[in-house]
Amino acid sequence: MAEAACPQKSPYVLDLAAGDYWWCACGQSRKQPFCDGSHKGGPFTPVKFTVVQAEKKALCGCKRTKTAPFCDGTHKSL
């Protein structure tokens, strides 16, 4: 299995408005932490998630989380 790129070893902590989002799983997007289509032709698929009401979210930046798209602290062991 291919390993995703690691754009940063910390989460992206963002204030997100209500709506649908696509989290980049490959680590190649130039619009981190969101997908820009860079995964096309590869083994990765972006992860869709929905924010019901505006709130702060910590999205994984290392692409190793077990709770995608949210940070689970895995970056601390890299």
pLDDT in tens, 27-60: 999 999 999 999 999 999 999 999 999 999 999 9
Going by C-alpha positions, the residue among 20, 27, 21, 25 that lies closest to residue 6 is: 27
pLDDT score recorded for residue 2: 85
Please report, to the nearest 10 degrees, the dihedral formed by the alpha carbons of residues 64, 67, 72, 76 taken in order. -10
**Where does the pLDDT of residue 8 fall: very low under 50, low under 70, confident under 90, or very high at 90 and above?**
very high
What tokens does 62 get?
């290392």
Strand 55-59 vs strand 47-51: parallel, antiparallel, or unpaired?
unpaired
Strand segments (E) across 31-73:
47-51, 55-59
**Where does the pLDDT of residue 26 fall: very low under 50, low under 70, confident under 90, or very high at 90 and above?**
very high
pLDDT score recorded for residue 34: 98
